């Protein structure tokens, strides 16, 4: 209940503060857990995606965010777990897989690994492909768009939910060597995920976004 209360409270604030539109929520099938893969624009992204998605979420957060006990307690209760960026954190990968397979939550991953300041989708890292493949989960691509480098009062934000990428198309042979596994992830698994995110970010809005067009979730 704490999770849904906090997400709901944050959602009310974001809808009041920003000019928010959510598209494509009908693309999310019912009764399943997914790996949500999104571009990363701001600190508000996890809540925006939790609002747009269905069910509970777990997500990776950089280890530095857990240094302050009060804030660490809050984000842990919202489903966050720490990851050491750039260090090949196998413990975080295992926890991510457990989140989907055993805890029956959605997993949110930002494949770029860091926020984009100019709105362009950067190069994706292989973590999302590895987790999705080992968890046997479909991937839901998400695109977040707004103008400028930073959010401000009444910023126009569009969150687009794409159609699921089936787990079967992301499957990998568990007997591959580490080198061949990395090559397979980069060549065959990552491209459909990142291409889908690119399309969602670059797609123009269906209608002009204004104050009266925020979509109820």
d(CA 126, CA 166): 17
The tokens describing 51, both together, are 């609002």
- Per the listing, tokens 């999302």 go with 128
- Beta carbons within 8 Å of 62's beta carbon, 6+ residues apart: 82, 83, 85
Domain residue limits at 14: 2-213
Q: Which residues of the chain have pLDDT under 50?
A: 207, 211-217
We report the CATH number of the domain holding residue 114 as 3.40.1130.10
Q: What is the tally of structural domains in the chain?
A: 1
For residue range 98-123, list pLDDT tens digits in order: 999 888 899 999 999 888 888 889 88
Task: Name the pTM for this structure.
Answer: 0.88
Burial class of 177 by CB neighbour count within 10 A (0 to 12, 13 to 18, 19+)? exposed
């Amino acid at each position: 209940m704490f999770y849904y209360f906090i997400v709901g409270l944050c959602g009310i604030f974001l809808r009041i503060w920003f000019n928010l539109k959510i598209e494509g929520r009908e693309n999310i099938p019912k009764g399943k857990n997914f790996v949500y893969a999104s571009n990363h624009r701001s600190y508000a992204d996890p809540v925006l995606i939790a609002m747009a998605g269905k069910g509970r979420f777990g997500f990776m957060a950089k280890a530095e965010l857990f240094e302050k006990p009060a804030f660490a307690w809050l984000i842990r209760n919202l489903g966050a777990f720490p990851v050491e960026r750039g260090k090949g954190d196998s413990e975080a990968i295992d926890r991510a897989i457990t989140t989907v397979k055993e805890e029956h939550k959605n997993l949110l991953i930002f494949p770029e690994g860091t926020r984009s300041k100019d709105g362009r989708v950067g190069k994706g890292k292989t973590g999302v492909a590895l987790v999705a493949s080992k968890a046997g989960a479909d991937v839901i691509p998400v695109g977040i768009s707004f103008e400028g480098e930073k959010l401000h009062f009444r910023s126009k934000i569009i969150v687009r939910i794409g159609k699921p990428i089936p787990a079967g198309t992301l499957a990998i042979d568990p007997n591959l060597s580490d080198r061949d596994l990395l090559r397979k992830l980069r060549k065959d698994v990552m491209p459909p995920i990142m291409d889908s995110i690119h399309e969602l970010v670059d797609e123009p809005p269906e209608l002009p976004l204004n104050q009266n067009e925020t979509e109820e979730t």
